[in-house]
Amino acid sequence: MQRVNERLINWASIIEPATLAQAEATASLPFVYPHLALMPDAHLGKGATVGSVIPTLGAIIPAAVGVDIGCGMAAVRTQYHRDELGPDLAGLRTSIERAVPLSAGQYNTVLTDTAAKRVQELTVVAERAGFDPGRYAGNWALQLGSLGSGNHFIEVTADETGAVWLFLHSGSRGVGNKLAQHHIRVAQEAMTRWWIRLPDPDLAYLAEGTDEFWAYIRQLRWAQDFALANRDEMMDRVVDCFAQWQGGPVRELERVQCHHNYTAREKHFGKEVWLSRKGAINAAAGVPGLIPGSMGDASYVVVGKGNPLALDSSPHGAGRNYSRSKARKTFTRDQLREAMAGIEYRDTDAFIDEIPQAYKPIDVVMRDAEDLVEVRHTLRQLVNVKGD
Dihedral sign for Cα 88, 73, 306, 202, please: positive
Triad 256, 257, 259: Cα angle to 5°: 150
* Rg value, the chain, Cα: 20
Q: Show Cβ contacts of residue 241 under 8 Å, excluding neighbours closer than 6 positions.
A: 92, 95, 96, 99
User: Taking the CB of residue 310, how many other CB atoms lie within 10 A of it?
Assistant: 24
**In angstroms, rounded to a whole number, what is the distance separating the alpha carbons of residues 141 and 116?**
8
**In angstroms, rounded to a whole number, what is the distance separating the alpha carbons of residues 305 and 111?**
40
Q: Name 264's bridge partners.
A: 275
**In angstroms, rounded to a whole number, what is the distance separating the alpha carbons of residues 47 and 223?**
20
> What letter does residue 49 receive in the DSSP assignment?
P
- Total residue length of the chain: 388
Active-site annotation holder among 43, 152, 268, 316: 316
Among 5, 12, 6, 2, which residue's Cα sits nearest to residue 51?
12
Dihedral sign for Cα 232, 53, 303, 266, please: negative
Q: Show Cβ contacts of residue 305 under 8 Å, excluding neighbours closer than 6 positions.
A: 283, 285, 371, 372, 373, 374
- Residue 316 falls in the annotated catalytic set: yes
Question: Distance of CA 27 to CAs 7, 12, 48, 68, Å?
Answer: 6, 16, 9, 22
Question: Distance of CA 108 to CAs 115, 232, 308, 386, Å?
Answer: 10, 15, 42, 16
**In angstroms, rounded to a whole number, what is the distance separating the alpha carbons of residues 195 and 376?**
50
Q: Show Cβ contacts of residue 264 under 8 Å, excluding neighbours closer than 6 positions.
A: 274, 275, 277, 282
Catalytic positions are 316
